[in-house]
A and B are shown apart, each in its own frame.
Chain A
């Protein structure tokens, strides 16, 4: 689990450090990732290909 402690210059230091020192348990992270990758693995519906094609054609035309 990435836990960067970088603080942007000019920003107040981290105040929630007490409860976020152990950010998210592994079981939760892996379930979130799986939920996400399950959708990513789905084929992209044709309507999107049509939309992109349409935009591409528009670009070529102008």
Chain B
């Protein structure tokens, strides 16, 4: 019984990470929190299957991911949207635009196929190793790596201008010096 209390304590401690993972997967805060609720319930119901000492975070991510996938499958029936075009638009959080380029990143992530998106998030944002991410997605490590490479290429393509901004523009320096406003491109929004 104390073991179970400990389990719930650990789950509680991982809630922030689960919410962040859910939100970066689906792009929508409310939907993400629904996913996390489902995840917590499923984890608790199946808690006997969790081997203590193994990675609870990876286990919970796996459950959340499965919840997300089954939700995607159901949505396919609800919306005639085989290419995920609408899903990508629905998924954007309309009131989360305090930070412009973070929202752009969120939007860009939604342009990726879900398998590339999850691989990139798991390894680059959550801090899981390639091996752990491969376990979560139930594929080989090499598959995770190639998905990340493809995700990277696409994001660099989508956010490339931003990247130049962050890194410091190499050529437009003379213009930027005038008033310190380093915004060679502001037509996006």
A residues sitting closer than 8 Å to B (CB atoms) are 2, 4, 6-8, 11-17, 19-20, 23-25, 27-29, 31-42, 44-45, 47-48, 51-52, 55-56, 59-60
Q: List B residues 145-178 near A (Cβ within 8 Å).
A: 145-146, 148-149, 152-153, 155-156, 159, 163, 166-167
Residue of B nearest to A43 (CB): B16
Q: Are A14 and B141 in contact (CB under 8 A)?
A: yes
Q: Are A27 and B166 in contact (CB under 8 A)?
A: yes
Tally A-B pairs: CB < 8 A. 125
A28-B163 in contact given A11-B142, A48-B36, A48-B40 (Cβ < 8 Å): yes
By a CB distance below 8 angstroms, the chain B residues around A38 are 20, 99, 102
The binding surface of chain A is classed by DSSP as helix
Q: Are A25 and B4 in contact (CB under 8 A)?
A: no
Could you list 15 further interchain pairs (A-B, Cβ under 8 angstroms) beyond the known A24-B148, A38-B20, A48-B15?
A4-B129, A8-B140, A20-B145, A24-B124, A24-B152, A25-B152, A28-B156, A31-B166, A33-B125, A35-B24, A36-B20, A36-B24, A39-B16, A44-B19, A48-B12
The answer to the question of B28 belonging to the interface, with a C-beta cut-off of 8 Å to chain A, is no
A20-B149 in contact given A52-B40, A59-B1 (Cβ < 8 Å): yes
The answer to the question of B61 belonging to the interface, with a C-beta cut-off of 8 Å to chain A, is no
Q: State in angstroms the CA–CA spacing of A19 and B21 once bound together.
A: 26
Q: State in angstroms the CA–CA spacing of A1 and B21 once bound together.
A: 20
Residue of A nearest to B22 (CB): A39
Q: State in angstroms the CA–CA spacing of A39 and B19 once bound together.
A: 7
A-B contact pairs, 24 of them (CB 8 A): A4-B129, A6-B131, A8-B141, A11-B142, A12-B140, A14-B141, A16-B142, A17-B145, A20-B149, A23-B148, A25-B156, A25-B163, A27-B167, A28-B155, A29-B124, A31-B102, A31-B166, A32-B105, A32-B124, A39-B20, A40-B17, A48-B15, A51-B37, A56-B5
